[in-house]
Amino acid sequence: MKPPGAPPPDELAPKWPDPGQARRAQAASGRERTGAALVFLILLGLLALAWEFAARRGLIDPFFVSQPSAIVYQLFDWWHGATSRGPLLAHIGLTLGDTAAGVAGGSLAARVAAAACPTDATRGRVLRVATRVMQPSVAIGVAAALAVGLGSANGWVPKAVFAALAVLVMAVGDARASLRASTRLRRRCQLALAAAVLAECLAPSGGVGFLIVRSLHQFNAAGVYAALVVLVALSVAIDAVAAACSMIPPPRQTSPS
């Protein structure tokens, strides 16, 4: 017999999420993101048109701020090898290699540090204090420590080490923070890219940082903006790949029979 005031049986049954409703919500979120991206691209195109118009009419000085047509031509010129050290694709590959090595090396070093310095031990507390001190200014601190050594360095190894040290500081701090795995991976990838480009600027032998420094030395505003366009494109691509990788489910562990 049902006691007085008890809810009906339908309310007592567990309510499972409707798969169709979840799909509709996901589709609506995807449409919103697509719409926002289209609006951003339209605004960016209008800004480029206004920039080009102002440069051609003499409202701004192209020597200092360049113009979109010159930037496109510079990218086309670099793509066909006019960088004094190979085509643009080679510099992109070098920067991506430095970034990937920095993420892998820094993450591995952070795991080793976490295993060697437990949280409840004195060395773990010392490591936590050190990362808290360094993390707000990790790029500046690491750059100041390695600027002299990188100034005469050649090859990709010093730059990868530079990026790995930056990722190590962030990874050790993230290990003690309640962040999702996807957020951690994306943060590390973006920091490794920034550190790799900074190292390439300190030791300009190749990569996107080399293109920036070379253009600055030549007073080539179009080259500086073209290198920044490449850097933004790399940042967006790396973030998209990191987000896609973080969505891959881990392998299922089969229990021994």
Q: What tens digit of pLDDT does each residue of 170-212 get?
A: 776 665 556 677 788 888 888 889 888 888 887 778 889 999 9
- Collect all residues with Cβ–Cβ distance below 8 Å to 252 and sequence separation of at least 6: none
Per residue in 67-77, pLDDT (tens digit) is: 999 999 999 99
Query: Is the confidence at residue 9, as pLDDT, over 90?
Result: no
Residue 145 pLDDT greater than 60, yes or no: no
Question: What is the C-alpha separation between 234 and 250, in angstroms, rounded?
Answer: 27
Cα 26 to Cα 24: distance, rounded to the nearest angstrom: 5
Residue 234 tokens, joined: 């790399």
Q: What is the pLDDT of residue 223?
A: 92
Encode pLDDT of 244-257 as tens digits: 876 766 556 555 54
| Higher pLDDT pick, 74 / 143 | 74
- Read off the pLDDT of each residue in 200-228 and give the average, rounded to a whole number: 89
Q: What is the mean pLDDT of the chain?
A: 78
Alpha-carbon distances of 42 from 31, 46, 226, rounded to whole Å: 16, 6, 20
Of residues 78 and 174, more confidence is placed in: 78
HSE value, Cβ hemisphere, 13 Å, CA-based, for 239: 11
Per-residue pLDDT, 121: 72
SS3 helix, strand, coil % of the chain, rounded to 5?
75, 0, 25
The answer to whether 190 and 181 are in contact (CB under 8 A) is no
2-6, 29-33, 96-100: which is most confident = 96-100
131: tokens are 């990362």
- Residue 47 has what pLDDT? 94
DSSP characters for 89-120? Answer: HHHHHHHHHHHHHHHHHHHHHHHHHHHHS-TT
**Contact of 161 with 105, CB cutoff 8 Å:** yes
Share of the chain above pLDDT 90, in %: 28
pLDDT at 141 (0 to 100): 54
6-15, 16-25, 26-35, 223-232, range with greatest mean pLDDT? 223-232
Q: What is the mean pLDDT of residues 82-92?
A: 87
Please state whether the predicted TM-score (pTM) of the whole model is above 0.85: no
At residue 89, the pLDDT reads 92
pLDDT of residue 36: 86
Residue 33: pLDDT band (50, 70, 90) is confident
Mean pLDDT, range 111-132, rounded to an integer: 73
Helices (H) and strands (E) in the chain, counts: 11, 0
State the pLDDT at residue 176. 58
**Res. 144 pLDDT band, cuts 50 70 90:** low
Query: What are the φ/ψ torsions at residue 142 (nearest 5 degrees)?
Result: -65, -40
Higher pLDDT pick, 7 / 122: 122
Domain boundaries, given as residue ranges, for the chain: 27-60, 72-246
Average pLDDT over residues 226-236: 93
Q: Are 199 and 98 in contact (CB under 8 A)?
A: yes
